Amino acid sequence: MFGPLNRRSVLTGIAGAAALGFVPTRFAIGQQAKIKVGLLLSHGGAYAGPGIGVTNGIKLALAERGGKIAGREVEFVMVDDESNPAKGPENTHRLVTGEKVDFLVGPVHSGVAMGMVKVARETEVLTIIPNAGFNAATGPLCAKNIFRTSFSNWQANAPMGKVAIDRGYKNVVTITWKYAAGEEMINAFVDRFTDLGGKVVKQMALPFPDTEFQAHLTEIASLKPDAVYAFFAGSGGSKFIKDYAAVGLKSIPLLGPGFLTDGVLPDYAEAAEGILTTLHYADALDNPENHKFRAAYKAAYGKEADFYAVQGYDAGQLMAVGLDAAKGDAAAKAAIIAAMEKAEIKSPRGTFTLSKSHNPIQDVYLRQVKGGKEVVLGVAQKAVNDPGTGCKIA
């Protein structure tokens, strides 16, 4: 399923050729070794697409640096997390204690992140989360060595609570997968929406990664809410959008975080028409970094980039900031962390910095599918900063 990405892959470059003419000091020997990056991502199922996006994005960031960071080649080691939370710790250990990676990058799935973060805290391996929004990773379970280049589940969803009220929706049904991300995303929306006077008629949940939506959609039709708020992602998101339209529910506005619609265009353009979402990225953002990134991604992979790719790309950028500051010495963790904490990442999403708990402080955009395109309606909330409640490094 993952094609050529399923094997260990090594970016191009000639290791330490220049150093060969010298009597190697300890540091020079270290300099010749490759930086080992462990990618813990989903290789199959609903989150296979997101896993590929992250992988392509991080590889693009390194390719732009000639395949090297601070003069050192980079080697990727890939482990399939199977989107299985129960195997999170074991799969993380395969990379950290087994492969002894210098950097751990992953996962897509919040349930897997729970186990991964536990191991990252214990082993103090330098870690960058390029997707999973699991709130606690930059909250009570935050750590000096754990960073995130994506979002917290709260951050991507709370802004829509106000948008829904502003649009006059009073009664809403929510629907999601029953796992950490689904629950946290729905809660973030519901808290803001009900604080501002909205009412939740019913909350629905299916086990992850079920896509048997029919019974729920029939019930939504009979409840006749003003709007529906949904989180599904990857191939599950596309299936939900298709089924929602197919049962004739399009007269009830569909809202959600942008995870819902990413990847549905152009194939399900008609079914997705009108869906309103909030996200920290949109394909159509008009800034030089985004234009350059999207063109380079298309040239490298022959397809359009998505936000998973942006998050992977920014994980590569953040890693480079840290390693450059430490002159390529991956063991100099304090120097790497200090530089990463201060980083200003020029992202395709717009420039972002990191909060004290290591989560991006970023604008959340309001987007709508119109005429088969994801249109940016504006900024739903500026510089959204997850409070990182419970984080002790802050």
Q: Give me the residues that bind ligand PHB (CB under 6 A), please.
A: 50, 108-110, 131-134, 181, 233, 259
Nearer to ligand PHB, 106 or 198 (CB): 106
Q: How far is the CB of 194 from ligand PHB (least distance, A)?
A: 22
Residue type, 213: F
Q: How far is the CB of 16 from ligand PHB (least distance, A)?
A: 38
Nearer to ligand PHB, 148 or 294 (CB): 148
Nearer to ligand PHB, 315 or 320 (CB): 315
Neighbours of 100 (CB within 10 A): 11
- Peptide bond preceding 209: is omega within 30 degrees of 0, i.e. cis? yes
Nearer to ligand PHB, 91 or 110 (CB): 110
Work out whether the CA dihedral 244, 245, 251, 254 comes out positive or negative.
Answer: positive
Whether the Cβ atoms of residue 158 and residue 194 lie closer than 8 Å to each other: no
Nearer to ligand PHB, 11 or 113 (CB): 113
Nearer to ligand PHB, 132 or 325 (CB): 132
Nearer to ligand PHB, 260 or 285 (CB): 260
SS3 88: helix
d(CA 168, CA 149): 33
The single-letter DSSP state of residue 94 is I
Q: How far is the CB of 281 from ligand PHB (least distance, A)?
A: 11
Nearer to ligand PHB, 151 or 293 (CB): 151
Burial of 4 (0-12, 13-18, 19+ CB in 10 A): exposed
Q: How far is the CB of 232 from ligand PHB (least distance, A)?
A: 9
d(CA 62, CA 319): 10
Q: How far is the CB of 109 from ligand PHB (least distance, A)?
A: 4
d(CA 10, CA 39): 13
d(CA 28, CA 10): 21
Q: How far is the CB of 271 from ligand PHB (least distance, A)?
A: 18
Length of the chain measured in residues: 394
Q: How far is the CB of 45 from ligand PHB (least distance, A)?
A: 12
DSSP string, 105-153: E--S-HHHHHHHHHHHHHH--EEEESS---GGGGTTT--TTEEESS--H
d(CA 265, CA 267): 5
Q: How far is the CB of 176 from ligand PHB (least distance, A)?
A: 11
